[in-house]
Structure 1
Amino acid sequence: MTAAMHLKLINPNTTQSMTDKIGACARAVAQPGTRIAAVSPRMGPASIESHYDEALSVPGILDEILAGEREGVDAYVIACFGDPGLYAARELARGPVIGIAEAAMHAASFIGTSFSVVTTLGRTCNLARHLAERYGMDRFCRNVRATDLPVLDLEKPGSDARRIITEACRQALAEDRSDCIVLGCAGMADLCGDIADAVGAPVIDGVTCAVKLAEALVSLRLPTSKRGDWARPLPKAYSGMLSPFALHG
């Protein structure tokens, strides 16, 4: 009998309602026997909408990875479209660590020859473009479109967010001539199916894609390589507020 798989889904912001929502979306697609713990870090920003927010979210993410390693977690999902702290998390983790932007962009490249990203604030568009370049996805990415919705508007009952995002997706398909849409925020995870039905094209949510990729890698017994870039960090002293992050041989 196959042992149960333990996945930890880390929402790098501290907004619990968003964590609960993306946890529910993740569990809806997980295979039977996969246990998903959806968590927010004990420290960090309420939402991530800038380089500053992203940088300050990373200690909380790494704290959750270190805790997961003590708990025997098999794989991790970093549920923010900026994929903050992804490479540092891979240095710490034995098992796979999947960022939702990387997962969504790769999934899009499997089902179409082009995609557009529909995200929140305009100031985050270049963050998404830079990730596409890093992941070798820039040749597939036709455009990154902002809806100018603050991330936390996605959590407000009665918000007009669904209509605004749907219309942006429809415009992307028509004007960018893209084959599919990548949703550029974990807080949009619950909108994916409804928007796909409305626009008549595949709409990809990185949270659910990352869960399925993590499950596949664990099932294939493919851990994070500890040769080269993602070898465990060298032990050394850290000072001040970072002293608890010091690693020991």
Structure 2
Amino acid sequence: MRILLINPNSTAEMTASIASEARLAARGNTEIVALNPPDGPAAIQGAADGEAALPGLFALFDKEVATHSHDAVIIACFDDTGLWELRRRARVPVIGIGEAGYLAGSVMGMRFSVVTTLQISVPVLEGNLERYGLAKRCARVRASGVPVLALETDRQASIEAIADTIAAALREDECDSIVLGCAGMAGLADDMSERFGVPVIDGVAAAVGLCETVARGMPSRGRSAMSAV
């Protein structure tokens, strides 16, 4: 199986980190091809950045599907940037890491809380939860105050701020699990689960598993083919 993972921001270092975690989550016979646009926002923090990322995201998607075959596509931004438009263009599953994380959180308990980066991202995530019909399963979307790129440049301080926000969610939200609300948080779930004794979900790993499951269940004529409309 071949999965195309697109990071909609233009930070190649983050793409490499996300790809590494995606490969750890994948089955042995799954290939992860990870790409990002060459320009556009360096990080997606809020609706304006998401809108600015769309031209580069769509151009990269159209170029890739014109020249290669994939069994599924992951949009590796927790805002699920461009997800609905790309689903209309593709003949294979297109999975957003936000939606995958929410679905995983929904099966790990009655309610989950989301721990994301900055407050500016919260309305986008809350809107997506409404659109997916999962708002009632989410206790709260919390901002950790950690900028997206700080997850690359100041990792340890970022981890502790995220941990503090998880602790607050578990004290105050009456939630059963935590969903990490940024692709840059990939790789933290296991350590946070061990630290707090509750399921902590990484949207990247959840999206890889969902892609593998859904794509393998598709008829053979619908797999390994994508077409731009």
Give the TM-score category using the shorter length.
over 0.9
Find the residue that maps to 1:133 and give its secondary structure.
Answer: helix
Residue 179 (structure 1) aligned with residue 176 (structure 2): yes
Conserved 8 A contact 2:44-2:50: yes
CA separation in 1, counterparts of 2:228 and 2:65?
A: 12
Find the residue that maps to 1:174 and give its secondary structure.
Answer: helix
| TM-score normalized by the length of structure 2 | 0.93
Match of 1:21 among 10, 14, 17: 17
Find the residue that maps to 1:210 and give its secondary structure.
Answer: helix
Find the residue that maps to 2:178 and give its secondary structure.
Answer: strand
Give the 4+ runs in structure 1 shifted more than 2 A.
Answer: none
Which residue type is aligned with residue 78 of structure 2? F
Partner of 1:11: 7
Partner of 1:228: none
Conserved 8 A contact 1:7-1:37: yes
Residue 167 (structure 1) aligned with residue 164 (structure 2): yes
Partner of 1:242: none
CA separation in 2, counterparts of 1:79 and 1:146?
A: 19
Partner of 2:93: 96
- 1:3-47 per-residue CA deviation (whole Å, 9 max, x = no partner) reads xx1101111111111111110110001111111011111221100
CA separation in 2, counterparts of 1:13 and 1:79?
A: 9
CA separation in 2, counterparts of 1:101 and 1:152?
A: 18
In structure 2, runs of 5+ residues without a counterpart are none
CA separation in 2, counterparts of 1:158 and 1:27?
A: 21
Deviation at 1:159, TM superposition (A): 4.0
CA separation in 2, counterparts of 1:40 and 1:69?
A: 14
Conserved 8 A contact 1:7-1:73: yes
Find the residue that maps to 2:218 and give its secondary structure.
Answer: coil
Find the residue that maps to 1:139 and give its secondary structure.
Answer: helix
In structure 1, runs of 5+ residues without a counterpart are 225-230, 234-249
Deviation at 1:60, TM superposition (A): 1.6
Which residue type is aligned with residue 177 of structure 2? C
Partner of 2:211: 214
CA separation in 2, counterparts of 1:44 and 1:23?
A: 19
Conserved 8 A contact 2:145-2:161: no
Conserved 8 A contact 1:153-1:159: no
Partner of 2:32: 36
